[in-house]
Copies of this chain bind each other. A is one copy, B any other.
Amino acid sequence: MASRIHSPTPLLKDELDIVIPTIRRLDFLEVWRPFFQPYHLIIIQDGDPSKIINVPEGFDYELYNRNDINRILGPKASCISYMDGACRCFGFMISKKKYIYTIDDDCFVAKDPSGKDINAVEQHIKNLLCPSTPFFFNTLYDPFAPGTDFVRGYPFSLRHGVPTAVSHGLWLNIPDYDAPTQLVKPMERNTRYVDAVLTIPKGSLFPMCGMNLAFDRELIGPALYFGLMGDGQPIGRYDDMWAGWCVKVICDHLGLGVKTGLPYIWHSKASNPFVNLKKEYKGIFWQEEIIPFFQSVTFPRHLTSVQECYIELSKQVKEKLAEIDPYFLNLADAMVTWIEAWDEFNPA
């Protein structure tokens, strides 16, 4: 492995929060107990606040429902989505830790090809603590993994890499498909364990899924806003996509890395494709214009903080995407509100 691997992987138990959005009993935590119990959980209860969410005993957690969010954020609570997994970003904002791992409550522990349970948190920590290499592609994938390195022809000046801001994990069993693909291929299951972590090159966008995702709050936290989705909004299931587009263009500008690949979780249950189609269908049109927009986003050089970039991005959204739908005016305003709230909770 190339230099700077941290081995054995530190637990970072005082530096990482696990954020879980949910509307139901958190029985799924039982299978995660050996891996999650060392960490503090931030549970964001979506939907009816009067419902009681059961958390298995022995976990250290705080739980916020909609009433809490409204009380804590006041008028700024308008930027936090309701009835959509996007609400999880409230947890990102109020965490005091350096790292976040967020996972959906229908995701279970996957097994590697040897049959061993995969400690998803540990692999995300490895990914975040090792540099990324966005400026040149390494054909043997992560050069910092054990038993590998940079290959012949990889420029030495680029081998130190850049800090890793985001670690995007994958899913065995139910793949993260859009509603049309779910409808067309309802029985498709992902059984392919690809033993790789790789840096998404600079200048390339990717579809960031929030199901199994970790990031460095200090490096990129303010860009992890999951937008206006769900109740009262014309769109759902694009919360993580929105965040991913914003995160990637800002990481590219600031010289930060985004990795994808390991770890896998076991995604147990496909959401209803008919419900999903209703939530998604505007996004399916809109993304055809949104993605070219993000592909052409540039930031003035003097913007050196995530917040500055994000505010600049909100202006460009207002200017360039409002012609698609007035929704983007609201979204651009919410982006500003989000940053204001972030800065209140996270003073410099």
Which residues of A are at the interface with B, using a C-beta cutoff of 8 A?
A: 113, 136-141, 145, 147-157, 168, 170, 175-178, 180-181, 185, 188-196, 200-209, 237-238, 240-241, 244, 260, 280, 284, 287-288, 291
Contacts and interface: CB of A to CB of B under 8 A. Distances in A.
A154 B194 contact: no
Contacts of A204: 136-137, 201-204
Most buried by B among A138, A139, A170, A260: A139
A127 to B, nearest CB: 14
Nearest to A145: B192
Given A136-B205, A205-B137, A150 B181 contact: yes
Contacts of A205: 136-137
Contact of A194 (B185, B194, B208): B194
A177 B155 contact: no
Given A149-B175, A192-B195, A139 B206 contact: yes
Nearest to A201: B204
Q: How many copies does the complex hold?
A: 2
A224 B275 CA distance: 50
Contacts of A155: 287-288, 291
B147 A189 contact: yes
Nearest to A169: B139
A287 B157 CA distance: 10
Given A140-B175, A140-B190, A153-B208, 9 more contacts: A136-B204, A138-B206, A147-B188, A147-B189, A151-B177, A152-B177, A152-B181, A202-B204, A204-B204
Contacts of A157: 288
A133 to B, nearest CB: 11
B151 A176 contact: yes
Contacts of A202: 203-204
A309 B249 CA distance: 30
